[in-house]
Amino acid sequence: MSTVILFLLGIIIGGVASAVKIVPQSKKYIVERLGKYKCTWDAGLHVMVPLLDRVVNKVSLKEQVFDFPPQPMITHDNVIVSIDFVVFCRVFDPKLFSYGVENAILGMQNISATTLRNLVGELELDQLLTSRESVNKKLEAILDEATDPWGIKVSRVEIKQIILSKELEAVMSSQMRAERERRQTVLEAKAHQEAVVSRAEGDKKAKILAAEAEKASQIALAEGKAKSILLVYQAEADGLALLNSTKLSNTVLKLKGIEAMKDVANGKATKIYMSSDLTNTVSHFGLMSDALGTTKCNSNEQ
């Protein structure tokens, strides 16, 4: 009797233990009752009815990374390439994820490959190599829309590598080498052209500066000469004004005239004819006419 009681007690304890479930963080459990969807359990402690309820799926809410194998594709210019890409996604609706599709990950892989083939087929190889970001965005938008009914949110798609054949890599390497040589030649030609233009500009500016300096020098000389002449005439005018202000006698004026004649008669061959009144003045001061080189002339001489 005690054995039966212990057996029944064990069954009860086991049933209670199996009915208590603890859902960990970042996970959700899908629960069915008699084969029909009942509810979705969040993180925490839950109790289910033994023999009636069961957990059919444990769904992780973390973002997952799926690295799909490289897919062979053909570009618009008939070049065969293999593209290796990864998809970042997470489950936002565990019920749709459990009942929306039989194998959501396999379905997402097939949709990704098909969509990527369509996108690559519209691009030439050079465009594909330079438009990875654009292809990533387009593929992400298409996958996100296609997987919404499955409860999956595609957050990011990245092309890891574009694999080319060895023959194509050799051709592209030769093309890149030729392009680099062409750019180098163009740069050298531009540098030579700029050097010639700079030298010509320098010569031009030097000549302009020299001409401007010569012009300034000539202007300065002309201004100096003009000022010198102006000062001479100004000095003469000041002298005449001073003489007029002193009211000199006729005798002194005549004497000054004789001194001026002396300066004019700077050679013995020079003779100056003076009027008789000026000669008398010279005699009055005891001056010799021969010393001045002068000759007396009568007042009636022409």
Domain ranges for the chain? 2-59, 64-164, 183-246, 248-296
Burial class of residue 207 (count of CB atoms within 10 Å of its CB; 0-12, 13-18, 19+):
exposed
Per-residue pLDDT tens over the stretch 40-67: 888 888 888 877 888 888 988 898 888 8
Which stretches within the chain are classed as H helix?
2-19, 94-99, 104-121, 125-130, 132-147, 166-246, 250-264, 276-284, 289-292
Give strand pairing partners of 181: none
CATH number assigned to the domain covering 64-164: 3.30.479.30
Check whether 291 has a pLDDT greater than 60: no
Please report the pLDDT score of residue 185 as a whole number: 87
Q: What is the pTM of this model?
A: 0.52
Instruction: Kindly tell me if the per-residue pLDDT of 80 is higher than 50.
Output: yes
The whole-angstrom separation of Cα 87 and Cα 95 is 22
Q: Strands 53-60, 27-33: parallel, antiparallel or unpaired by DSSP?
A: antiparallel
Residue 120: predicted pLDDT: 87
Q: Which pLDDT tens digit goes with each residue over 140-191? A: 999 888 888 888 999 898 888 888 877 776 777 777 778 788 888 888 888 8
Phi-psi label, residue 79: left if phi above 0, alpha if psi -120 to 50, beta otherwise: beta
- By the 8 A CB rule, do 251 and 285 touch? no
Give 253 or 97, the one with higher predicted confidence: 97
List C-alpha distances in Å: 5 to 2, 11, 190. Answer: 5, 10, 102
CA 5 to chain centre: 88
CB 43 within 8 A of CB 26: yes
CB atoms within 10 A of CB 61: 15
